[in-house]
């Protein structure tokens, strides 16, 4: 279903988020205080506007209160990022996601009611580290300090075995959420579903248990 997003701040992060949301078929209003940045996104957004995200009147005039999701991607100007977040939450925007620059920025954003706080460099660094240490891990999402979801190539010894045969939950304490096979993805694998040799497993669990599973390959 088509959703309405507004992105405030069009640095590298804001531009990537806007462009991708627009490519995925959603409505995107892209806002920056700098006209050159706004011109960069004209063809990759539904609407774009020059405006100050810390000015309530500007935000209201742009119709920001009609958006369910707003992403604050103002980078280095932490004060502007915080003020913008405060205004958006005060105006009753349901979902405000904010890019944080530091631990202290994160703490204040949390108090201001930001619904999700993103640390793109940190998250990407973690993902890349996971790829570097294990060529078996294809993708990685950190859910908390302890839990993650990983995409991992099915090891050859699992070929033609069912989930029941493998008994992964009991042996490793992790759960297979999905099985990717070429372009298909089985999102509710059953006990008698078989794993094939080139499958990619989507697995959720404690990091220690995921590591044990990876090392058992
Ligand atoms: P990144 O690290 O993602 O490249 P930047 O700090 O380079 O982030 O970019 C932040 C963007 O936010 C810049 O394009 C800047 O013009 C914009 N910006 C800064 N302050 C405001 C504001 N008050 N309102 C709207 N946009 C702003």
Ligand 1 centroid from CA 6, angstroms = 14
As a whole number, mean pLDDT of residues 22-29 equals 96
What's the CA-to-centroid distance between 43 and ligand 1, angstroms? 19
In which residue ranges of the chain is CATH 3.40.50.720 found?
A: 4-118
- For residue 67, what pLDDT band results from cuts at 50, 70 and 90? very high
140-161 residue pLDDT tens: 888 888 999 999 999 888 999 9
- 53, HSE (Cβ side, Cα atoms, 13 Å): 30
pLDDT confidence bin for 83, thresholds 50/70/90: very high
ipTM above 0.90, yes or no: yes
Task: Return the exposure string of 125-137: e unless at least 16 CB atoms fall within 10 Å of the residue's CB, then b.
Answer: eeeeebeeebebb
Average pLDDT over residues 83-104: 96
CA of 26 to the centre of ligand 1 (A): 22
Compute how many other C-beta atoms are within 10 angstroms of the C-beta atom of residue 43: 9
Q: How far apart are CA 175 and CA 88, in angstroms?
A: 38
- Give the per-residue pLDDT at 139: 80
- Cβ atoms of 163 and 193 closer than 8 Å: yes
pLDDT for the residue numbered 75: 81
The per-residue pLDDT for 160 is 92
Determine contact, residues 4/70, Cβ cutoff 8 Å. Answer: no
The answer, yes or no, to whether residue 217 has pLDDT greater than 80, is no
Answer yes or no: is pLDDT of 77 > 90: yes
Q: Residue 38's pLDDT band (boundaries 50, 70, 90)? A: very high
Beta carbons of 205 and 213 less than 8 angstroms apart = yes
Q: Report the pLDDT averaged over residues 49-58.
A: 98
CATH superfamily of 4-118: NAD(P)-binding Rossmann-like Domain (3.40.50.720)
For the chain, the average pLDDT equals: 93
Task: Report the predicted TM-score, pTM, of the whole model to 2 decimal places.
Answer: 0.76
How far apart CA 10 and CA 30 sit, in angstroms, is 7
User: pLDDT band at residue 130, thresholds of 50, 70 and 90?
Assistant: confident
For residue 133, give the nearest of 198, 206, 207 by alpha carbon.
207
Among 6, 8, 11, 30, which residue has the most ligand 1 atoms within 8 Å of its CB, making it the best to mutate? 11
Percent of the chain with pLDDT over 70: 99
CATH code, 123-215: 3.30.70.1450
Parts of the chain belonging to CATH 3.30.70.1450 = 123-215
């Amino acid at each position: 279903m088509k959703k309405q997003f507004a992105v405030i701040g069009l640095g590298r992060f804001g531009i990537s988020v806007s462009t991708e949301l627009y490519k995925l078929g959603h409505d995107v209003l892209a806002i920056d205080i700098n006209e050159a940045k706004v011109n960069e996104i004209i063809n990759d957004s539904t609407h774009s506007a020059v405006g100050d995200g810390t000015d309530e009147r500007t935000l209201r005039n742009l119709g920001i209160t009609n958006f369910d999701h707003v992403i604050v991607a103002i980078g280095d100007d932490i004060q502007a990022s915080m003020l913008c977040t405060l205004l958006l939450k005060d105006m009753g925007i349901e979902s405000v996601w904010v890019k944080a620059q530091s631990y202290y920025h994160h703490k204040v954003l949390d108090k201001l009611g930001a619904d999700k706080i993103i640390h793109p460099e940190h998250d990407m660094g973690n993902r890349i580290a996971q790829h570097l240490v294990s060529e078996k891990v294809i993708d990685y999402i950190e859910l908390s300090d302890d839990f993650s979801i990983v995409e991992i190539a099915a090891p050859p010894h699992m070929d033609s075995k069912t989930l029941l045969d493998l008994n992964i939950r009991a042996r490793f304490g992790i759960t297979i959420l999905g099985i990717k096979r070429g372009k298909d993805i089985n999102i509710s694998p059953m006990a008698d579903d078989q794993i094939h040799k080139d499958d990619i497993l989507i697995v959720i669990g404690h990091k220690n248990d995921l590591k044990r599973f990876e090392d058992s390959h």
